[in-house]
């Protein structure tokens, strides 16, 4: 039985490039569906959204179409100044460059899109905006992983998980947990890898998604190989194969054959393992899957090493190094030189092994900090590396083979110790910086929340002042004017001293008093609906909807659930939100029908107000053409810690959705 920690760390050292590919099953149907929708689309904003989604689906199916579609979306979104579409297009382009392993170019587009979506989310944290925020930040995390920055990848991955959970985006969560499991494997954290991949498998059962199930099963089989559980790999490989057989042309066959090679390697059937890799290579080369080509070359080398075919292992690793140099990937060159030096040493080619090791150290030094260099130099003095290197150079294979082998092994062990110690020191430093940055980020978020809360309270106070001014105007100009008229009429009667009973004059006074009382009740209802205080939110809404229904307008209420346990202030705020939305639909949208829905399930309240009015173009301005302000609505919804979402098109009506969590409010 192999030692778990040692073998698993060696395996992960070879397989350092993260898998992020997804299955291509059913993509043809999805592509056709999106293209058909594009033919029918009426607005530029909808066209941009469809183009961005199409470019994501086209990824790894048709590279040229991916770029063409994404750049078309970017150009159109910039032309119409549609920021959400611009961010989505930038993320699609960044993802396409990641597929080509052009990581720096991918970063340029991702870094351009992230500030745009950050600003949009701060202004309007709807589900659609948050999902786009998840996509951009997760692409960035994956790109860090491609570039070898595992700590940054982990930091950004942990940042997106709470948002995905809040949205209950199971499809996104299973991708994140799978990739976290892969990341844990690369860092030697087998227990965490097992937990994260198991979470992904459980979510996949709920989703019943072929794509996710195939990928997660294959990653879990790789984990089992690293844990010396080769026999347990078979069920997961079989399940993935059964699903893949529904699509013989799926690109994930290359991933299946790669994992199958692990299985045969674990059984000691190296010939079959190479045959599996040959099948995978045929798919990778045909479809220009650049990052997967790196992984295959490493896998070939490992299988050759296991079968003691070191010349073949050296040949594969040389091809890997040359490819990494061509692509200008110094981290990959370092990994390749490091492994090839081990193979050369095993073949007693000590000179080649030495030069590979020195070259690897030079690259390692160039990509690490000055502080880590100083620590490695101290270790070199401590272990007298310089003297060992001189002895290695003086070795001759002909007369002192055994002696030279001993010196070489000592030298290699010393250098490995230096690298491990230096790496451990650097890891601790980075961990401290990451924790410090996390604390700083948490402090900034708390400050931002406090500022946001202050803005909400300021807006509420401002709204109250406006309400008081409106009330004063209503009392002075409306009710005050009527009462003044009544007073004058009564004074005139008193002054004239009529000889007959002034029936007509008194009737007019009584009518004016009745109108004044009606207006007083209306003002009182606007200040605090009495029905709500006495009988609750449902009764108050029924009363208000009934009062707003007339000859030209019909307001309907559908109330599901109850208001039990909801604070009175919260009920009043919900009432004001619905009141404002109904008024806007009637006064500004000229709606003849308004449907109000109140739905409560547990602690979640969903309010929908739908009208058949003139609608408006939300992308053009935060204000509608008729001048309906949204700030008051946003302030009240923000006070409830809820979310507000508008869906409207000109001449096709407006639908407003408000989601509130009572615990959060």
Rounded average pLDDT over 154-175: 84
Least confident of 199-213, 276-290, 336-350, 436-450: 436-450
- pLDDT for the residue numbered 21: 35
Q: Phi and psi (nearest 5°) for 611? A: -130, 165
pLDDT band at 20 (very low <50, low <70, confident <90, very high): very low
Q: pLDDT value at position 605?
A: 93
Question: What is d(CA 69, CA 79) in angstroms, rounded to the nearest whole number?
Answer: 16
pLDDT at 649 over 90: no
Q: What's the gap between Cα 380 and its chain centre?
A: 45
CA distance linking residue 121 with residue 394, whole number of Å: 65
pLDDT band at 414 (very low <50, low <70, confident <90, very high): low
Lowest mean per-residue pLDDT among 116-125, 169-178, 243-252, 450-459: 450-459
DSSP letter, residue 499: S
Q: How many CB atoms lie within 10 A of CB 41?
A: 14
Alpha-carbon distance values, 20 to 88, 89, 149, 289, 607 (Å): 19, 20, 15, 12, 39
Q: Answer yes or no: are the C-beta atoms of 403 and 391 closer than 8 Å.
A: no
Closest CA relative to residue 180, chosen from 171, 167, 168, 192: 192
How would DSSP label each residue in 532-562?
HHHH-HHHHHHHHHHHH--SS-EEEEEEES-
Is residue 571 within 8 A of residue 608, CB to CB? The reply is: no
- How many Å apart are CA 541 and CA 572, to the nearest integer? 11
Question: Who contacts 238 (Cβ-Cβ below 8 Å, separation ≥6)?
Answer: none
- Is the pLDDT assigned to residue 606 strictly greater than 90? yes
Q: What is the mean pLDDT of residues 295-302?
A: 85
pTM for this predicted structure:
0.43
User: CA 597 to CA 578: how far, in whole Å?
Assistant: 10
Beta bridge partners of 659: 606, 643
Q: How far apart are CA 492 and CA 480, in angstroms?
A: 18
**Tens of pLDDT, residues 416-457:** 766 665 666 676 667 777 776 777 777 667 666 656 555 554
pLDDT tens-digit map of 390-408:
444 444 334 444 445 555 6
Percent of the chain whose predicted confidence (pLDDT) is above 70: 73
**Maximum Cα–Cα distance for the chain, whole Å?**
148
Average pLDDT over residues 507-533: 70
Residue 628 predicted with pLDDT over 60: no
Residue 515 neighbours by CB under 8 Å, 6+ apart: 482
Distance between CA atoms of residues 81 and 364, nearest Å: 45
Predicted confidence at residue 480, as pLDDT, reads 64
**Domains identified in the chain and CATH numbers:** 26-153 (1.25.40.10), 532-661 (3.30.565.10)
Please give the average per-residue pLDDT across 199-203, as a whole number: 83
Instruction: List all residues 6 or more positions away from 330 whose beta carbon is below 8 Å from its beta carbon.
Output: 324, 363, 366, 367
Mean pLDDT of 628-651: 80
Which residues in 149-170 are b (16+ Cβ under 10 Å) and which e? bbebbbbbbebbbebbeeeebb
Average pLDDT of span 203-218:
81
The pLDDT of residue 395: 40
Whether the Cβ atoms of residue 414 and residue 388 lie closer than 8 Å to each other: yes
Give Rg (Cα) of the chain.
Answer: 35
Most confident among 21-25, 307-311, 623-627 (mean pLDDT): 307-311
Read off φ and ψ for residue 614, nearest 5 degrees: -75, -15
Instruction: Supply the pLDDT for residue 556.
Output: 93
Average pLDDT over residues 505-534: 71
Rounded CA-CA distance 303/273 in Å is 7
Measured CA to CA, the distance from residue 549 to residue 140 in angstroms comes to 52
35-39, 83-87, 526-530: range with lowest mean pLDDT: 526-530
Identify the pLDDT of residue 656.
93
Reported as a single tens digit per residue, the pLDDT across 376-386 is: 444 444 434 43
pLDDT at 123 over 60: yes
- Residue 659: pLDDT band with limits 50, 70, 90: very high
| Local confidence band at 599 (pLDDT 50, 70, 90 cut-offs) | very high
Q: Is the pLDDT of residue 282 over 70?
A: yes
In three-state secondary structure terms, 640 is coil
pLDDT range class, residue 660, cuts 50, 70, 90 = very high
Q: What is the pLDDT of residue 398?
A: 40
User: How confident is the model at residue 169, as a pLDDT?
Assistant: 83
pLDDT of residue 243: 86
What pLDDT is stored for residue 610 in this prediction? Answer: 93
Written as six digits, the tokens of 13 are: 């050292």
Q: What is the pLDDT of residue 114?
A: 93
Q: Are 277 and 296 in contact (CB under 8 A)?
A: yes
The pLDDT value recorded for residue 180 is 81
- According to the model, what pLDDT value does residue 627 have? 40
Rounded Cα gap, residues 52 and 84, in angstroms:
11
pLDDT at site 621 = 47
The answer to whether residue 125 scores a pLDDT higher than 50 is yes
Return the structure tokens found at 186. Answer: 């690369």
pLDDT of residue 636: 82
Residue 237 contacts by C-beta under 8 Å, 6 or more apart in sequence? 217, 218, 221, 256, 259, 260, 263
Question: Residue 480 to residues 25, 474, 484, 528: CA-CA distances in angstroms?
Answer: 73, 8, 6, 20
For 334, list phi and psi in degrees, rounded to 5.
-60, -45
Mean local confidence (pLDDT), 608-634: 68
Residue 127 has pLDDT above 80, yes or no: yes
Q: Is the pLDDT of residue 213 over 70?
A: yes
466 pLDDT more than 60:
no
Contacts of 229 (CB under 8 A, 6+ apart): none
Give pLDDT, residue 525. Answer: 60
Span 131-149, pLDDT tens digits: 889 888 988 988 888 887 8
pLDDT of residue 13: 36
Q: What is the mean pLDDT of the chain?
A: 76
pLDDT of the residue at 39: 84
Mean pLDDT is lowest, of 44-58, 282-296, 547-561, for 282-296
Residue 229's pLDDT is 86
């Amino acid at each position: 039985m192999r030692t778990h920690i040692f073998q698993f760390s060696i395996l992960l050292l070879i397989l350092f490039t993260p898998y992020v590919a997804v299955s291509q099953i059913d993509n043809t149907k999805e592509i056709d569906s999106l293209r058909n929708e594009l033919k029918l689309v009426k607005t530029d904003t909808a066209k941009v959204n469809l183009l961005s989604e199409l470019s994501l689906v086209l990824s790894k199916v048709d590279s040229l179409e991916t770029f063409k579609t994404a750049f078309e979306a970017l150009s159109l979104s910039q032309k119409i100044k549609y920021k959400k579409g611009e961010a989505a297009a930038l993320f699609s382009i960044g993802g396409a460059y990641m597929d080509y392993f052009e990581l720096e170019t991918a970063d340029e587009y991702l870094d351009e899109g992230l500030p745009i979506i950050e600003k949009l989310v701060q202004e309007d944290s709807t589900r659609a905006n948050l999902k786009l925020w998840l996509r951009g930040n997760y692409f960035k995390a994956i790109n860090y992983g491609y570039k070898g920055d595992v700590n940054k990848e982990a930091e950004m991955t942990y940042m997106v998980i709470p948002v995905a959970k809040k949205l209950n985006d199971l499809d996104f969560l299973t991708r994140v947990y799978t990739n976290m499991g892969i990341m844990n494997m690369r860092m030697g954290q087998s227990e965490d890898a097992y937990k994260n991949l198991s979470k992904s498998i459980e979510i996949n059962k709920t989703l019943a998604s072929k794509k996710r199930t195939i990928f997660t099963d294959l990653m879990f089989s790789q984990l089992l190989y690293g844990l010396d559980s080769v026999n347990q790999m078979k069920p997961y490989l079989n399940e993935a194969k059964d699903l893949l057989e529904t699509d013989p042309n799926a690109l994930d066959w290359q991933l299946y054959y790669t994992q199958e090679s692990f299985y045969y390697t674990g059984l000691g059937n190296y010939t079959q393992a190479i045959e599996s890799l040959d099948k995978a290579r045929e798919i990778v080369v045909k479809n220009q899957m650049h990052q997967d080509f790196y992984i295959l070359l490493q896998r070939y080398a490992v299988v050759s090493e296991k079968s003691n075919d070191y010349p073949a292992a050296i040949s594969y690793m040389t091809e890997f190094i040359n490819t990494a140099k061509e692509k200008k990937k110094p981290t990959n060159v370092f990994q390749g030189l490091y492994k090839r030096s081990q193979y050369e040493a095993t073949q007693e080619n000590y000179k080649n092994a030495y030069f590979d090791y020195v070259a690897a150290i030079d690259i390692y030094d160039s990509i690490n900090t000055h502080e880590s260099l100083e620590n490695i130099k101290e270790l070199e003095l401590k272990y007298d590396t310089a003297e060992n290197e001189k002895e290695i150079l003086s070795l001759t294979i002909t007369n002192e083979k055994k002696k030279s082998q001993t010196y070489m092994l000592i030298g290699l062990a010393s250098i490995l110790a230096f690298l491990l110690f230096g790496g451990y020191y650097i890891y601790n430093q980075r961990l401290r910086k990451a924790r410090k940055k996390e604390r700083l980020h948490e402090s900034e978020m708390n400050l931002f929340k406090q500022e946001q809360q202050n803005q909400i309270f300021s807006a509420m106070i401002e709204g109250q002042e406006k309400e008081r001014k409106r009330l004063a105007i209503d009392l002075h100009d409306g009710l005050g004017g009527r009462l003044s008229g009544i007073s004058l009429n009564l004074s005139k009667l008193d002054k004239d001293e009529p000889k007959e009973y002034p029936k007509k004059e008194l009737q007019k006074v009584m009518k004016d008093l009745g109108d004044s009382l009606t207006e007083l009740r209306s003002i009182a209802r606007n200040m605090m609906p009495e029905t709500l205080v006495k009988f609750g939110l449902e009764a108050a809404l029924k009363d208000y909807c009934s009062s707003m229904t007339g000859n030209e307008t019909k307001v309907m209420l559908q109330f599901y659930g109850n208001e039990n346990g909801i604070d009175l202030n919260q009920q009043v705020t919900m009432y004001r939100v619905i009141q404002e939305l109904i008024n806007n639909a009637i006064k500004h949208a000229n709606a003849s029908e308004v449907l109000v829905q109140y739905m409560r399930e547990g602690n979640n309240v969903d309010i929908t107000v739908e009208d058949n009015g003139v609608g408006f173009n939300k992308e053009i301005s935060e204000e509608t053409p008729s001048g309906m302000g949204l700030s008051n609505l946003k302030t009240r919804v923000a006070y409830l810690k809820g979310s507000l979402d508008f869906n409207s098109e000109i001449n096709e009506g407006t639908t407003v959705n408000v989601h509130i969590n009572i615990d959060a409010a």
